[in-house]
Amino acid sequence: MKYTVITGASSGIGYEAALAFAARGKHLIVVARRVDKLEELKAAVHQMNPELDVVIQIADLSDTDQAYSLYNKLEGYEIETWINNAGLGESASIADQNLKKVETMLRVNIESLTILSTLFVRDYAEKEGTQLLNVSSALGYAIAVGTITYSASKYYVSAFTEGLAKELEIKGSKLKAKVLAPAMTETEFAKNAADLDHFNYQENLPAYHTAKQVAGFMMDLYDRDEVVGIVDQHYDFKISNQLYPIIEG
Ligand code: NAP
């Protein structure tokens, strides 16, 4: 049995991505801190297809030891696709940002993503049909004033993943690495980034996608050979080859 691993599957894009992979008949390993939300997801998947295996893994990815132990716990599973989607933002100018939250953000968005990507590449680079999908952001390609540290963390995700895709291509590896870069998406993200109880997307934003739409973009990227799937300034989803300049050798 082959599995799709999705971190940050308890809400938003990760939750909808899990349903989208389930709709393709994929067994799932879903990761987050909130077990009740993952149980809810498991029930929704089983309502769609009771034959699918849904494995729940609780991990706090702001603790990098838990990233290693998560990976080690999955040793017995054959993984087809690994999706590093878990992430958070901090909406504040640099002088005003909450450094505790920033430390947490950098550990989840950068450190755990790097650890999990590296461990997956080590084991799966030569396995046919495998993919590593890292969720960056449109702000991983344009610096957003007011949330610069988050934006910079996503520049890391984009550069790391685009570079990895090139490295795998040069080595002739079977594993494909891809980066999904959504723009504003209606999830729990904005309220958590701004420390609000609620954020009304319709009232506050001229344009945004739903998490279900973004999960659809992820599936489009999954089906293609290119490396980057990005939502542009017109809110159109575009799939392309590497966007960052890359120096080989
Ligand atoms: P979301 O609804 O807040 O979901 C974030 C997910 O990450 C949740 O499942 C959460 O699970 C998990 N997570 C957060 N901290 C974690 C931790 N310490 N350990 C383990 N899991 C953790 O937001 P979303 O919009 O779907 O975000 C998904 C990805 O899309 C993120 O990487 C985000 O940066 C990116 N993105 C979002 C937007 C947007 O506008 N929403 C735009 C571009 C990119 P628990 O809380 O249960 O742990």
**How confident is the model over 128-181, as pLDDT tens digits?**
999 999 999 999 999 999 999 999 999 999 999 999 999 999 999 999 999 999
- H or E stretch including 78? strand 78-84
* pLDDT at residue 249 is higher than 90: no
**Is 12 touching ligand 1 by the criterion CB < 6 Å?**
yes
Share of the chain above pLDDT 90, in %: 99
d(C-alpha 86, C-alpha 7), whole Å: 5
Residue 245 lies in a domain: no
Please report, for the domain that includes residue 129, its CATH number. Answer: 3.40.50.720
What single-letter amino acid sits at 3?
A: Y
Instruction: Tally DSSP H helices, then E strands, for the chain.
Output: 9, 10
> Buried b / exposed e across 36-53, counting CB within 10 Å, b at 16+?
ebbeebbeebeeeeeebe
**Is 39 touching ligand 1 by the criterion CB < 6 Å?**
no
Residue 235 lies in a domain: yes
Paired tokens of 16:
């909808």
Taking a C-beta distance cutoff of 8 angstroms, is the pair 221, 138 a contact? no
Residue 249 lies in a domain: no
Residue 248 lies in a domain: no
Taking a C-beta distance cutoff of 8 angstroms, is the pair 155, 133 a contact? no
Residue 15 lies in a domain: yes
Residue 224 lies in a domain: yes
Q: Total structural domains in the chain?
A: 1
CA angle 67, 81, 89 (to 5 degrees): 50
Cβ burial of 225 (10 Å; 0-12, 13-18, 19+) is exposed
d(C-alpha 54, C-alpha 59), whole Å: 16
**Is 97 touching ligand 1 by the criterion CB < 6 Å?**
no
Q: pTM of the prediction?
A: 0.99
Residue 203 lies in a domain: yes
Counting ligand 1 atoms within 8 A of each CB, the residue from 19, 61, 64, 88 with the most, and so the one to mutate, is 88
Counting ligand 1 atoms within 8 A of each CB, the residue from 40, 70, 71, 85 with the most, and so the one to mutate, is 85
Distance of CA 86 from the midpoint of ligand 1 (Å): 4
Report which ligand 1 atom has the smallest distance to the Cα of 150.
34
Domain that holds residue 88: 2-240
